[in-house]
Structure 1
Amino acid sequence: MKDMKLNHYLFSISWPRILPSGIKNEYINEKGIKHYDNLINMLLENRITPIVTLYHWDLPQVLEEKYGGWQNASMANYFSDFANLCFERFGNRVKYWITFNNPWSVAVEGYETGEHAPGFKMRGTGAYNAAHNILKAHAMVWHTYDAQWRNKQKGMVGISLSADWGEPVDVTNQRDIEAAERYVQFYLGWFATPLFNGDYPQIMKDYVARKNAQQGLSSSRLPTFSPQEKSYMRGTCDFLGISHFTTRYITQKNFPSNSGNSYFTDRDLAELVDPRWPDPGSEWLYSVPWGFRRLLNFVKTQYGDPMIYVTGNGVSEKMMCTDLCDDWRMQYFRDYINEMLKAVKDGVNVKGYTAWSLLDKFEWDEGYSERFGMYYVDFGSKNKPRYPKASVQYYKRIISSNGFPNQREIESWKRKAMETCTSSNQLLAAARRKSKEHADMPKVWPVHDEV
């Protein structure tokens, strides 16, 4: 990080690492506290600002088994206690707090589709209930910080929301325009609108209610906030974190009432992609830079010009790819950062940008097969050595220039970056040959006289 001249580092604190049972008054793991103390201190010694996420999807297992996790409203109290402990122990050095990273995935993929932990398929209700409790938990943590710590520690509390952009397939077709609006409201607006305005987007309430009526349900599957809760929720974002990777074309699609309850069918839309869009890695991630600028402008107009931190933006590579000369990642960063800079010129209040990610890492249900890192990690080797990809040198130059000075300079960056990755490729290839030779050696097992 120091060599790359990064000025901030975004990481999460693991709730079960600090509180193994999830509950503050049962047991605090001081070794876990020490781990994060060391990390925060080391960052600050190297003039790198720590930005801390309190929840990046690791719920203590006990709370899932005993209470049903985010389906249970009591999670808000337990999470607030955990957050309060973090403020108490780390808040004298940490000034940027993110309560939740991408709660959309926690709700939808954890409790609707079952793709991610805890793997429930509670179609049409699970995601809405989880999101409702997550939003209440966020508001409680914001108020805890505001009341007990803000004056002393002078920090900020926000949330990081994942948001793809939705573009109408036909910009002259009103139904497509409305469908694209619904796509963004059911995605970003589901979480952002309650925090800025106190309630779910009207379009979301209308569409879920309509589906309920078609199916003869007496109560809404989308939970409601009481007047007190709306007031408590409104304005609980000191900044808005935006994690953005791709865009979809959207068109109107009517799902019949007998298609069953589902978050996806509630929206009455279909998502499409342009086959000409580059798709370097993950099946869901197409490179569509112009969507980024549109999304950022949408956030500005929709939520009253909030302070925005881009908390994640990057691209993966094909599963078996070991080429460290990642020209497609350099192109992705160049195109997306350029669109963000255009949004800044439009007047959008973007305060910072975080590339995703520093290292190859565990990619949820894809394991270690999809690589987002600027540093290649050799997971097959015991010591997990790291090798810089070309994007390391490229991104380093973007940071030092805080953007793009001119076309010739940028081409020179790319050329130099590609030269450095060639030697890294040779080192990696040599390490792999050595590893294979070791693996091919005959195994000699010890002989035991008795079993």
Structure 2
Amino acid sequence: MKDINMDAFRFSISWVRILPYGKLSKGVNKEGIRFYNELIDELLANGITPLATLFHWDTPQALEEEYGGFLSENIVVDFRDFATICFEEFGDRVKLWLTINEPWVYSVGGYDAGRKAPGRASKYMNDAAKAGKSGHEAYIVSHNLLLAHAEAVEAFRSCRICKDGNIGMAHCPLWYEPYDLACVEDNEAAERAMEFMFGWHMNPTVYGDYPEVMKKIVGKRLPSFTESQSRKLKGSFDFIGINYYSSVYAKNVAEVDPDKPFWRADQHVEWKKQNKAGKAIGAQGGVDWNLMYPQGLRKVLNYAKNKYGNPKFIITENGHCDAYEKKKPKICELMDMKRTDYHKKHISNLHKAI
């Protein structure tokens, strides 16, 4: 990393590497702490700033078995304990922290579509799922992720050796353009999709509650915050982490099946790669969801600046995958002009946002 002039490195701290059974009461793994101490010290010795992520979807299996992981509010205390140990052990040297990585991806992927661990979903969403309730569990899980985030931030701000550090959450918003720019309903759909994807976890940390449109559409399936929880959530970040990769067109969907709820249906939005005129929003990347639209990064940042009070941002992820990379001659891989172009255009749009 030093040889290629990297000046920062983001890594995740494995919960079970610190607390093998997920709970403070069941013991701390000193070898795990030593591993991260050595990693952090080596980074700093080479002039590389560490940025640590506390939760990147690796819920301890013991907690999954005991109470269902993030389906239970019990996890909030255990996550705070884990976070507190990390702050006390590493906070004198790690000055940039992320509590949760991409909460919507974890909640929807694991508990609505059932395509990511723990693979829970209704049968109408994923026939391979053995358990789950789409349109319900993702909202419960995200609620507990937010409560865990707030508790971790409170612990961080009480940590004596962490006083000059900063903490936030890594969000992964798409940018939505209206499918038909002249259609009022499609313009409203694009805004509604942003609220369901970005506002779902941003609004509570800025305003203490979910977006009004989510409360209206999701209704009783969306948990609510107590006054105390709302107070803890408001202002619970020093910066916003942005993982940006892709954008889509948003087309309004008037009617959905009320008997088969899921997160995408709740938006009343269909995601489209092409607009009404047949124009693709961007070149197709190596995976289906990766559509290259560099302007989307600038638009996401401007959206968040205007909606959430001009916060500080760190671009915590951005990149391009090439479907044909392994089929190319090595010299072509090394030239890598697609990635060069991708990063150049995204950095240019970042500069425009600034």
**TM-score relative to the length of structure 2:** 0.91
- The corresponding residue for 2:126 is none
- The corresponding residue for 1:159 is 169
- Displacement of 1:119 in angstroms is 0.7
Q: Is the 8 A contact 2:256 2:268 kept in 1?
A: no
Say if 2:99 is the partner of 1:94.
no
- Displacement of 1:45 in angstroms is 0.3
The total of aligned residue pairs comes to: 333
Q: Secondary structure at the match of 2:210?
A: coil
Say if 2:200 is the partner of 1:190.
yes
Taking the aligned partners of 1:153 and 1:67, their CA distance within structure 2 comes to: 34
Taking the aligned partners of 1:18 and 1:178, their CA distance within structure 2 comes to: 45
Say if 2:156 is the partner of 1:145.
yes
Deviates more, 1:38-47 or 1:258-267: 258-267
Deviations, residues 141-174 of structure 1 (Å, cap 9, x unaligned)? 1111112336x54211111011110111122221
- The corresponding residue for 1:335 is 345
What does 1:230-249 correspond to in 2, within 5 Å? Answer: 230-249=230-249
- The corresponding residue for 1:281 is 286
- The corresponding residue for 1:60 is 60
- Displacement of 1:206 in angstroms is 1.2
Q: Is the 8 A contact 1:242 1:312 kept in 2?
A: yes
Q: Is the 8 A contact 1:208 1:222 kept in 2?
A: yes
What does 1:1-400 correspond to in 2, within 5 Å? Answer: 1-121=1-121, 122-149=133-160, 153-209=163-219, 220-274=220-274, 276=280, 277-318=282-323, 321-323=326-328, 324=333, 325-344=335-354
Partner amino acid, structure 1, of 2:314: Y
Partner amino acid, structure 1, of 2:120: F
Question: Who wins on radius of gyration, i.e. which is larger?
Answer: 1
Taking the aligned partners of 2:212 and 2:258, their CA distance within structure 1 comes to: 24
- The corresponding residue for 1:348 is none
Relative to structure 1, is the Cα distance of residues 319 and 26 closer, same or farther in structure 2, using a 3 angstrom cutoff? farther
Taking the aligned partners of 1:293 and 1:9, their CA distance within structure 2 comes to: 23
Taking the aligned partners of 2:201 and 2:152, their CA distance within structure 1 comes to: 15
Partner amino acid, structure 2, of 1:7: D
**TM-score relative to the length of structure 1:** 0.72
- Displacement of 1:258 in angstroms is 4.2
Deviates more, 1:121-130 or 1:25-34: 25-34
Q: Is the 8 A contact 1:15 1:22 kept in 2?
A: yes
- Displacement of 1:294 in angstroms is 0.8
Q: Which has the higher contact order (CA 8 A, sep 6+)?
A: 2
Q: Secondary structure at the match of 1:88?
A: helix
Q: Secondary structure at the match of 1:304?
A: coil
Relative to structure 1, is the Cα distance of residues 337 and 171 closer, same or farther in structure 2, using a 3 angstrom cutoff? same
Deviates more, 1:315-324 or 1:98-107: 315-324
Q: Is the 8 A contact 2:54 2:98 kept in 1?
A: yes
Flag structure 1 segments of 5+ consecutive residues without an equivalent: 210-219, 345-451
- The corresponding residue for 1:419 is none
Identity across the alignment (%) = 38
- Displacement of 1:257 in angstroms is 3.7
Taking the aligned partners of 2:298 and 2:309, their CA distance within structure 1 comes to: 17
Taking the aligned partners of 1:89 and 1:228, their CA distance within structure 2 comes to: 28
Flag structure 2 segments of 5+ consecutive residues without an equivalent: 122-132
Taking the aligned partners of 1:169 and 1:316, their CA distance within structure 2 comes to: 25
- Displacement of 1:319 in angstroms is 6.4
